[in-house]
Amino acid sequence: MLEELLQKLQAITADAKSALSAASTPADVEAVKNRTLGRNGAITALSPMMGKLPAEDKKAAGMAFNEAKQGIQAALNEASARINEKKAEEAPAVDVTLPGRAWPFGRKHPISQTIDACCSIFRRMGFIAVSGPELETVWYNFDALNAPANHPSRDPQDTFYLPDGRLLRTQTSPVQIRTMLGSKPPVRIVSPGRCYRRDTPDATHGVHFHQLEGLYIDKDVSLADLRSTILKFAKEYFGTDVKVRMRPHFFPFTEPSVECDFSCVMCGGKGCRVCKNSGWLEIMGAGMVNPAVLRNVGYDPEEVQGFAFGFGLERLTMLKHRINDLRIFSDNDLRFLKQF
């Protein structure tokens, strides 16, 4: 029986080497491997014969099995190396004179484009863009800005509070407080960023939105300086034909306070559905910085004055591009974003 086993091993090895010498593809090599050394291969099928051999023949049979497996494996490696070398020789050379592969560039989100455009306008007027944390304390978000304890904006129904007492900022005004605490007048900054308020999402409202607020603190700053700054911004952003008007209003952090309207960019001030036939669009709130706010940051209201303003960037973007639903900005629809 030993002689029979040895003959079969020799035949399998010879057949495998012959097939591998003629192999021309990796698939041919893999087929020989599966046919001989695989789970259902010829070498594996002979293993039960080992158990039927006398004890004195098992050592010789084991050595024969190992030699057959090693011989076939060596032939497999040699065939693979030969095929890979031939494939490398036949591969076309790389033409280094060809231009590189062009990768497509992404586009900035329309809100990001609006932020860049607004900051660019205000930089040309001497303002510096600054940023601050979105997670704020009550003091920076309300107390330092002269918001009374019973102000509606402090209510948990309007503001996102965390268990540790901090909150998601409802405006970018805390950036102004942080800037004034860290520097002396004059201060001339704009602070764009994301804000959060509890609201029911619809075409014009959302739980997160973007604001840009401005602040100018120096000696002899007046409401006329505020109006000229806003008028300059309006004409730069919407065109030279736009007009600006101010209406009395109230904000805790400014005194006096005003609402700033721009002439309707849809109808040119003639009256339409967007401006409710008034010819004007409410764009921003503004005013002279309240002396109480100046004292909260260590400034002397008798020595310096200033103005502040703020507006929603989504509303500005909607007007600029004639978009009628705020929710589309956060849908991540590439068909929409590719238009910008």
User: Where does 69-226 show beta strands of DSSP type E?
Assistant: 128-129, 135-136, 167-168, 187-196, 208-218
Higher pLDDT, 331 or 144: 144
Q: Are 207 and 197 in contact (CB under 8 A)?
A: yes
Is the residue at 81 inside a domain?
A: yes
Residues 9 and 152 in one domain: no
Residue with the two structure tokens 């304890």: 149
Q: What is the CATH number of the domain that holds 299?
A: 3.30.930.10
Is the residue at 95 inside a domain?
A: no
Is the residue at 96 inside a domain?
A: no
Residue 270 CB neighbour total at 10 angstroms: 11
Q: Are 118 and 180 in contact (CB under 8 A)?
A: no
Higher pLDDT, 287 or 21: 287
Is the residue at 274 inside a domain?
A: yes
Q: What is the pLDDT of residue 136?
A: 94
Residues 137 and 283 in one domain: yes
Q: In the listed set 54, 89, 124, which residue is the last one of a domain according to the structure?
A: 89
Q: Which among 177, 249, 171 has a CA at the least distance from the CA of 213?
A: 171
DSSP code of residue 8? H
Q: Please say if the pLDDT value at position 94 is more than 90.
A: no
Q: What is the pLDDT of residue 42?
A: 81
Is the residue at 105 inside a domain?
A: no
- Full residue range of the structural domain in which residue 25 is found: 2-89
Q: Are 203 and 324 in contact (CB under 8 A)?
A: yes
- Between CA 106 and CA 110, with CA 108 as vertex, the angle to 5 degrees is 140
Residues 79 and 115 in one domain: no
272-290 mean pLDDT: 89
Q: Are 169 and 136 in contact (CB under 8 A)?
A: yes
Residues 322 and 204 in one domain: yes
Q: What is the pLDDT of residue 253?
A: 93
133-138 mean pLDDT: 94
Is the residue at 118 inside a domain?
A: yes
Q: Which of 193-207, 211-225, 292-306 has the lowest mean pLDDT?
A: 193-207
248 prior amide bond cis, ω within 30:
no
Q: What is the pLDDT of residue 6?
A: 75
Most confident of 58-72, 87-101, 302-316: 302-316
320-327 mean pLDDT: 84
Residues 126 and 189 in one domain: yes
DSSP code of residue 308? E
Residues 233 and 134 in one domain: yes
Per-residue buried b or exposed e for 225-235, using 16+ beta carbons within 10 Å of the residue's own CB: bbbebbeebbb
Identify the band that residue 87 occupies on the pLDDT scale cut at 50, 70 and 90.
confident
Is the residue at 101 inside a domain?
A: no
Q: What is the pLDDT of residue 115?
A: 94
Residues 312 and 213 in one domain: yes
In the chain, the number of structural domains is 2
Torsion of CA 265, 266, 270, 272, to 10 degrees: -140
Residues 164 and 31 in one domain: no
Residues 114 and 75 in one domain: no
Residues 225 and 307 in one domain: yes
Reading the block at residue 83, the tokens are 């095929």
Q: What is the pLDDT of residue 37?
A: 81
Q: Which residues pair with 167 in a beta bridge?
A: 136, 161
Residues 119 and 58 in one domain: no
Non-local CB neighbours of 17 within 8 Å, separated by 6+ positions: 71, 72, 75
Rounded to whole angstroms, the Cα distance separating 202 from 186 reads 40
Q: Which of 86-100, 105-119, 187-201, 266-280 has the lowest mean pLDDT?
A: 86-100
Q: What is the pTM of this model?
A: 0.67
Mean confidence (pLDDT) of the chain: 87
Q: Please say if the pLDDT value at position 230 is more than 90.
A: yes
Most confident of 55-69, 200-214, 290-304: 290-304
Is the residue at 308 inside a domain?
A: yes
Residue type, 269: G
Residues 191 and 222 in one domain: yes
- pLDDT tens sequence across 28-84: 888 888 888 887 888 777 777 776 777 777 777 778 778 888 888 888 888 888 888
- pLDDT tens sequence across 154-196: 888 889 999 999 999 999 999 999 999 999 999 999 999 999 9
Please give the share of the chain, as a percent, with pLDDT higher than 90.
46
Q: In the listed set 21, 55, 89, which residue is the last one of a domain according to the structure?
A: 89
Residue 153 CB neighbour total at 10 angstroms: 14
Strands, sheet with 128-129, edge to edge from the N-terminal-most edge strand:
128-129, 187-196, 208-218, 305-312, 280-289, 254-263, 244-251
Rounded to whole angstroms, the Cα distance separating 165 from 169 reads 12
